[in-house]
Structure 1
Amino acid sequence: MKQVVQNYKSGELALLDVPEPACKPGGVLVRTLYSLISTGTELMKVSEASKSLLGKAKARPDQVAKVMQSVATNGLSATYRKVTSKLDSYTPLGYSLCGVVTAVGAGTDDVAVGDLVSCAGNEHALHAEVNWVPKNLYVRVPATLDPRHAAFGTVGSIAMQGVRRGEPALGDVALVIGLGLIGQLVVQLLVASGVKVIGADPDPSRCALAESVGAAVCAAPGSSVVETAVAELTGGFGVDQVYLAAGGSTNQPVELAAKLARDRGTVVDIGKCSLDLPWNAYYEKELDVRFSRSYGPGRYDPSYELEGRDYPIGYVRWTERRNIECFLDLAARDKIDVSPLITHVAGFDDAVETYRALNEGELKAVAVLFDYPQPEDTELSVPTDSVEIGGPPAARVGLSLGDQSVRVRKSTLRVGFVGAGNYASSMLLPHLVEDESVDLYRVVTTSALSATNAKRKFGFGDASTDLDELIEDDSVDAIFVVTRHSTHADLTIRALEAGKAVFVEKPLALGTDELTRILETVEKTGNDRLQVGFNRRFAPLLNEARQRFGRRIGPASVRYLVNAGRLDGGSWYNQDSEGTRFVGEGGHFIDTVSWLLGDDPVSVYAAATPGQKDLQAVLRYPDGSTATITYATNGSSQFQKETIDLTADGKVLRFDDFARASVFGQKKWASTRLPKGRDKGQARQVASFVEAVKTGAPMPVPLESLAATTLATLAVETSLNTGGPVRVETEPTT
């Protein structure tokens, strides 16, 4: 299928051939009839991408701050790979469309194949011939509504949420500053609510358009016409609400809002303009400044948008989906008329030229629609069933390895990738590309564009959204699973059952039930060709420090401080379905300690601060060694992330965040700072996995150790919940 994309690094726009998305549970596949260009938001993104790197940095200082934090945490080299990989990728455009349902995923029963739906979301309602859309981001279109008008559902809900934030009442007078697409819709919604509307925009044609759809008076922001209209319609008191639907860097909108609003009036920011509030003016009138967040409640909440969990109507009357429904209903009953806003309808094949004409000012438009060619026959996709995983943690699983491993010697390794996000693109794939014995055969992602980006950047032979095809392909030797935590166990089991060698990022499992299923699969199939992404034991500097420390005779004491830092509130790590943060990351540190001590832990005791923000896990080892892992989220971002102190036999090993290492004994050894940044072992880890699979040699980390580390990680949570120590044991199955 075709999709409109942009390379953020170069600014290039393209109509790209990408694989069709799969129909996943909890949503539907939609073949697009019309999609709407947001002439404000999208053109701002297109313009920003054409800037130099310095210009991009000035436009997004929030992203610059994240980059600097990544440099402090991961080093310059790793951050550079991550940033350049992300910049030099195609990104999607679009977020509002109307189309026909062609397939229905498991758990979805409110629409059927053939239904006309309006869809929302900058990851799901893209300018693409086919999109997968989750349940709360599509709405059935009323029978009497033109599909072209239904394509306005998303931008209509943005305007509607802004109006709701202003809480207008019958007889109010409102000022709308900025009469682009959103501003025009705000005008109509206010008029439909019984509000007298005054508009302000420097473009006379937009002012005339707003007046034609119900505004009382519209003129340029600095003109006396606007001030006179406000005085006449409000008796000199000022408007009840001001809606900021303008963009740009000028501060004029907020200054005009303060001047023309009444005492204790309301100012609602819907667009993205400068907000340097003149303190005296806002203070003297005690103005209520409010922000409107996109489509409404539910926006940016993964549990609502991706998992389909609705908010009870008694607590949240107007969610983003209900806003779209309301807007479509108003349009179907002719209370809102979007037809005057449609300046141009372009064929989808002309998408790139249309964007160019808009960006360069050749095409003056309020709203532009893409019209998609429709195939005579639409092939329906068979929905996949969802997989329920998880379960209560325990401390013991069966482990029976025997001597049944599948080992085949090969000169070339044919590799498939499941997932191609930031970590895979910056930490794994660059190393595989350099290995001439590796054939990057196929990459599979849930997002068609992600797979296409990976194919383009790393030379995969094929890009797909069909997971079954990859797993069932007998020519594939090894599969890398680099997806979200909740999918690791099931994907690992399926790949092992298909006879593949598997490299899966940590964690291997989110519960002991999942780990048990994996080990039972190994026993049943005889396929133990499994590696988990515990890369720190492969770090060159840590290996050198361990060697300098030398052979250990007596028990050791290890202190491992992990200054993990806070997560953004919207991080998927916070989702309940992905397990706790420590379960997701803690295996790294337990594996590192176990490798340093040369054995696996036998018991775990953990304690935490309220809310389990910071925790300490004490691990005991068979020879009496102990290790304390402090996992802290409330530390300073200026301090390094990982610090290790190992004490034994009158010696101390000190390791500082993959940058410096020292050993204190009869003689002192100290490393110099690594000139190329922090090497956390990903390159050696990948190379070791590839070599083991090609030659049939034992896997780099024994399966017993992978299982023990996973059990110990899960035991931390068990100990926190029970308040006592938890034994870590694996026993043979019967």
Structure 2
Amino acid sequence: MKIIAQKYRDGSLTLLDVPVPATKAGGVLVRSSYSAISAGTELMKVAESKLSLLGKAKARPDQVRKVLQTLSQQGPLATYQKIANRLDSYTPLGYSLAGVIADVGAEVDGFRAGQRVACGGNQFALHAEFNWVPVNLCVAIPDNVSDEQAAFATVGAIAMQGFRQAEIGLGETAVVIGLGLLGQILVRILRAAGVHAFGIDIDAERCRLAMEGGAAACATKGGAEFEGFVEALRRATSGAGADCIFITAGGDSNEPVELAGELSRDRGRIVDVGKCRADLPWAEYSQKELEFRFSRSYGPGRYDPIYEEQGIDYPIGYVRWTEKRNMASFLDLIAQGRLDLSPLISSIHPFDEAVAVYEDMNAGRSRGIGVLFRYPDAAPKTRMLELRKAPARAGKPRLRLGVIGCGNYASSMLLPHLKGRADVELAEVVTTTPLSGANAAAKFGFASMSTDPARVFDDADIDAVMVLTPHGSHADLVARALRAGKAVFVEKPLAITAEGLQKVVQAAEESSNTRLMVGFNRRFSPLLRKMRAAFGGFDDAQFLHYRINAGALDPASWHADRARQGGRFVGEGCHFVDTASWWFGARPVSASAVSVGVDADNVAATITYDNGASAVISYMTGGDPRYPKELIEVAGHGMTAKLDNFQTGEVWRRGKRKVFRAMAADKGQKDQMLAFVAALRDGTDMPVPFTSLVETTAVTLAAERSIALGRPFSVADIICGERHDVS
């Protein structure tokens, strides 16, 4: 199938061939009929991507803060790799479409194949021939509503939410500043609700279109007719001013906000539905006691992954108008004949012309209000796309890899170490979203890409599978790969539940396949290995303290979904448990842990080992995010070792201090990948014993049990599911 995408580095647009998305539970696969271009939002995104790096930084200060945090915690090399990966990736466009359901996922009620639907979401309703859309971003199209008008449902929902935020009623007066697509729709909604609507824009043609849509008066700011516009508003409100001002304009000018204050009545309401500068003029706003409100996109549920991605609706008794209900309400207005968007449709273009359409709009050669892409009427052909045939390399044994998942960490920290190697062929990449597959194929030269994990399990020519997906899927995918006879590399954690871990162990036992490696990369750090060698023997008891300044988690991050992805200590704490076990050369026996404060991920865990060693892992989420992330201290044998954020280290022995330094923070990802490839290529033992991988995972799960029960918990209890009281 085809999808339009842009490179964020330079803003270049491309129509890509990618696999059809997989049909996942909780959503439907939709074949697009029409998708709407939102000129303001999308062209702003295109324009931003064409800025210099400094310009991009000024446009996105939130991302700059994240970069500075990564720089302070992980060093310049890792930061550069992540930034470069982002810049070189394709990003999608679009967020509003109409289409026909091609397939229905599990756990979905109320939808059927062949049904016409309108869809929203800038991650789901893309300018693409097929999209997988979760149920709460999908609504049925009434029979008497055309696909062309229904394609504007998401933009309509934004206008509906702005209208609701205003709490405006029958007979009141409103001014809409900015008469682009969103403003035009809002004018028509106001008229349908019995509100006297006025409009302002910099374009006279847009003013004319709003007048045709029912506006009482419209004018261009600074135009000859503006005084007449102000007089008309004064007459309509008996000199008081508008009850509500809607700002649907965008840009860096503060003029819309200033104008809103001038046109509003005393104690009026200003609702920001667009994205403009908002430096409120104190004198005007305070003297009138004006109320400034923001409108959150499509409505309640927006930016909430539980609502949007998991499909958990808000009870109507508590939240009357969600984003899905706003979309449905908008389509109902069209079905009742109270809204007609046909005058707003400026042009309809075949999707094959998408790149030229954007270029014309960006260059100002096309200034239409409502622009649609029309898609061919075709069934999905395949969920796999062959990109090239790998060249034969006679006499050189090659490891054929299938990769499932390819997010930012995999793209910046793991796969670059495999690209271009003579002994590795990147055979196939499997991703949830087709564009992720296209990014991986472009960067690393995969021979094919798909959205179906079964392909890599069923392909007899694939030697090994890399599982680089979100945490909750690891155990199931690893078990499937082991049963398929594949060697496996899985990014940590191996499992997020005891049941998942037992599933992996059972699969390994029943298939007699333990060719498994988990991404516990810190034991491969060159600096840490040098320090361990200098520390000496490991016969006597030692004490290790591992302090992690993890920082607070973005609530929108998928890591925050404890129910589906496990807690942060299970997800990341296994790194530090593995490092301690490797340093000691011992096997963990039990874990005792507490969570500190209200954050369940703020954990202090103590681990005992079979050789008498002990490790304390302090996983701290409440510290300064700019403070260095990791510190390790070890004491034993009359020696002390200290590693500071994988950049500097020291070992004290017999009163003498030996200092270790690294050119850049190296947490061992490269050496880890080379060790994995070498073991499979040469047929040697895996770099980390299977039992150690299982025990490390069990420690983090035992720590979670210990927090819940308030006592130490046995590692064997997790692995075997038996009772081993160690209190």
Q: TM-score, normalised by structure 2?
A: 0.95
Supply the distance in 2 between the matched residues of 1:221 and 1:714 (Cα, whole angstroms): 64
- Corresponding residue number in structure 1 for 2:640: 652
Supply the distance in 2 between the matched residues of 1:225 and 1:694 (Cα, whole angstroms): 81
In structure 2, relative to structure 1, the CA distance for the partners of 1:294 and 1:733 (3 Å cut) is closer
User: Which one of the candidate residues 683, 707, 718 is aligned to 1:696?
Assistant: 683
- Corresponding residue number in structure 2 for 1:331: 334
Does residue 572 (structure 1) correspond to residue 572 (structure 2)? The answer is no
Does residue 79 (structure 1) correspond to residue 118 (structure 2)? The answer is no
Q: How many residues align?
A: 706
Supply the distance in 1 between the matched residues of 2:65 and 2:484 (Cα, whole angstroms): 44
- Corresponding residue number in structure 1 for 2:416: 430
Q: How does 1:250-329 map to 2 (within 5 A)?
A: 250-329=253-332
Report the alpha carbon displacement of residue 568 of structure 1 after superposing the two structures with TM: 1.0
Cα pair 2:650 2:660 within 8 Å, conserved: no
Supply the distance in 2 between the matched residues of 1:381 and 1:328 (Cα, whole angstroms): 32
- Corresponding residue number in structure 2 for 1:441: 427
In structure 2, relative to structure 1, the CA distance for the partners of 1:631 and 1:226 (3 Å cut) is farther
Does residue 711 (structure 1) correspond to residue 698 (structure 2)? The answer is yes
For 2:603, the aligned partner's letter is L
Report the alpha carbon displacement of residue 542 of structure 1 after superposing the two structures with TM: 0.7
Supply the distance in 2 between the matched residues of 1:410 and 1:726 (Cα, whole angstroms): 49
Q: How does 1:86-485 map to 2 (within 5 A)?
A: 86-222=86-222, 223-375=226-378, 411-485=397-471
Q: Which string of whole-angstrom CA distances, capped at 9 and with x for unpartnered residues, describes residues 86-131 of structure 1?
A: 1111111111111111111112231211111111111111111111
Q: Secondary structure at the match of 1:40?
A: helix
For 2:494, the aligned partner's letter is L
Q: Secondary structure at the match of 2:402?
A: strand
Supply the distance in 1 between the matched residues of 2:436 and 2:382 (Cα, whole angstroms): 23
Cα pair 1:416 1:443 within 8 Å, conserved: yes
- Corresponding residue number in structure 2 for 1:624: 612
Supply the distance in 2 between the matched residues of 1:160 and 1:732 (Cα, whole angstroms): 55
Report the alpha carbon displacement of residue 156 of structure 1 after superposing the two structures with TM: 0.4
For 2:330, the aligned partner's letter is F
Q: Which string of whole-angstrom CA distances, capped at 9 and with x for unpartnered residues, describes residues 477-522 of structure 1?
A: 0100000111001100111111000001111111111111111111
For 1:105, the aligned partner's letter is G
Supply the distance in 2 between the matched residues of 1:726 and 1:661 (Cα, whole angstroms): 33
Q: Which string of whole-angstrom CA distances, capped at 9 and with x for unpartnered residues, describes residues 252-299 of structure 1?
A: 011111122122211111111011112232222222211111111111
Q: Secondary structure at the match of 2:359?
A: helix
Supply the distance in 1 between the matched residues of 2:444 and 2:381 (Cα, whole angstroms): 31
- Corresponding residue number in structure 2 for 1:28: 28
Supply the distance in 2 between the matched residues of 1:713 and 1:565 (Cα, whole angstroms): 19
Does residue 491 (structure 1) correspond to residue 485 (structure 2)? The answer is no
User: Which one of the candidate residues 652, 665, 673 is aligned to 1:664?
Assistant: 652
User: Which one of the candidate residues 667, 685, 690 is aligned to 2:672?
Assistant: 685
- Corresponding residue number in structure 1 for 2:540: 554
Q: How does 1:521-560 map to 2 (within 5 A)?
A: 521-560=507-546
Report the alpha carbon displacement of residue 212 of structure 1 after superposing the two structures with TM: 0.8
Q: Which string of whole-angstrom CA distances, capped at 9 and with x for unpartnered residues, describes residues 376-433 of structure 1?
A: x666999xxxxxxxxxxxxxxxxxxxxxxxxxx9921000100010011001100011
Supply the distance in 2 between the matched residues of 1:380 and 1:232 (Cα, whole angstroms): 63
- Corresponding residue number in structure 1 for 2:585: 598
Supply the distance in 1 between the matched residues of 2:50 and 2:602 (Cα, whole angstroms): 43
Supply the distance in 2 between the matched residues of 1:671 and 1:117 (Cα, whole angstroms): 65
Cα pair 2:539 2:611 within 8 Å, conserved: no
Q: Which string of whole-angstrom CA distances, capped at 9 and with x for unpartnered residues, describes residues 533-576 of structure 1?
A: 11000011111111111113421111111000011110111112
Report the alpha carbon displacement of residue 669 of structure 1 after superposing the two structures with TM: 3.7
Report the alpha carbon displacement of residue 667 of structure 1 after superposing the two structures with TM: 4.7
- Corresponding residue number in structure 1 for 2:64: 64
Does residue 3 (structure 1) correspond to residue 6 (structure 2)? The answer is no
Supply the distance in 2 between the matched residues of 1:274 and 1:299 (Cα, whole angstroms): 22
Supply the distance in 2 between the matched residues of 1:670 and 1:179 (Cα, whole angstroms): 69
Report the alpha carbon displacement of residue 614 of structure 1 after superposing the two structures with TM: 2.0
For 1:339, the aligned partner's letter is S
- Corresponding residue number in structure 2 for 1:41: 41
Supply the distance in 2 between the matched residues of 1:700 and 1:226 (Cα, whole angstroms): 77
Q: Secondary structure at the match of 1:109?
A: coil
For 2:23, the aligned partner's letter is C
Cα pair 1:415 1:477 within 8 Å, conserved: yes
Please identify, of 232-241 and 492-501, the stretch whose mean Cα deviation from structure 2 is larger.
Answer: 232-241
- Corresponding residue number in structure 2 for 1:615: 603
For 1:531, the aligned partner's letter is M
Cα pair 1:102 1:380 within 8 Å, conserved: no
Q: Which string of whole-angstrom CA distances, capped at 9 and with x for unpartnered residues, describes residues 578-627 of structure 1?
A: 11111111101111111111112211111122322522101111222221
Supply the distance in 2 between the matched residues of 1:634 and 1:283 (Cα, whole angstroms): 38
Cα pair 1:221 1:256 within 8 Å, conserved: no
**RMSD over equivalenced CA pairs, Å:** 1.8
Cα pair 1:177 1:221 within 8 Å, conserved: no
Supply the distance in 2 between the matched residues of 1:185 and 1:670 (Cα, whole angstroms): 71
Q: Secondary structure at the match of 1:191?
A: helix
Does residue 509 (structure 1) correspond to residue 495 (structure 2)? The answer is yes
Cα pair 2:74 2:628 within 8 Å, conserved: no
Please identify, of 303-312 and 524-533, the stretch whose mean Cα deviation from structure 2 is larger.
Answer: 303-312
For 1:335, the aligned partner's letter is R
Supply the distance in 1 between the matched residues of 2:335 and 2:487 (Cα, whole angstroms): 56
For 2:577, the aligned partner's letter is I
Supply the distance in 1 between the matched residues of 2:615 and 2:721 (Cα, whole angstroms): 29
Q: Secondary structure at the match of 1:79?
A: helix
Report the alpha carbon displacement of residue 318 of structure 1 after superposing the two structures with TM: 0.8
Supply the distance in 2 between the matched residues of 1:347 and 1:458 (Cα, whole angstroms): 31
Supply the distance in 2 between the matched residues of 1:716 and 1:146 (Cα, whole angstroms): 57
Supply the distance in 2 between the matched residues of 1:380 and 1:22 (Cα, whole angstroms): 10
Report the alpha carbon displacement of residue 672 of structure 1 after superposing the two structures with TM: 5.3
Cα pair 1:199 1:226 within 8 Å, conserved: no
Report the alpha carbon displacement of residue 437 of structure 1 after superposing the two structures with TM: 0.6
For 1:701, the aligned partner's letter is V
Report the alpha carbon displacement of residue 454 of structure 1 after superposing the two structures with TM: 0.3
Supply the distance in 2 between the matched residues of 1:464 and 1:434 (Cα, whole angstroms): 21
Please identify, of 51-60 and 218-227, the stretch whose mean Cα deviation from structure 2 is larger.
Answer: 218-227
Supply the distance in 2 between the matched residues of 1:30 and 1:637 (Cα, whole angstroms): 41
Q: TM-score, normalised by structure 1?
A: 0.94
Report the alpha carbon displacement of residue 673 of structure 1 after superposing the two structures with TM: 4.3
Supply the distance in 2 between the matched residues of 1:240 and 1:663 (Cα, whole angstroms): 72
Unaligned runs of 5+ in 2: 385-394, 723-727
For 1:550, the aligned partner's letter is G
In structure 2, relative to structure 1, the CA distance for the partners of 1:534 and 1:378 (3 Å cut) is closer
Cα pair 1:606 1:617 within 8 Å, conserved: yes
Supply the distance in 2 between the matched residues of 1:72 and 1:378 (Cα, whole angstroms): 46
For 1:560, the aligned partner's letter is Y
Supply the distance in 2 between the matched residues of 1:149 and 1:733 (Cα, whole angstroms): 57
User: Which one of the candidate residues 640, 647, 668 is aligned to 2:628?
Assistant: 640
Q: Secondary structure at the match of 2:364?
A: coil
Supply the distance in 1 between the matched residues of 2:19 and 2:278 (Cα, whole angstroms): 42
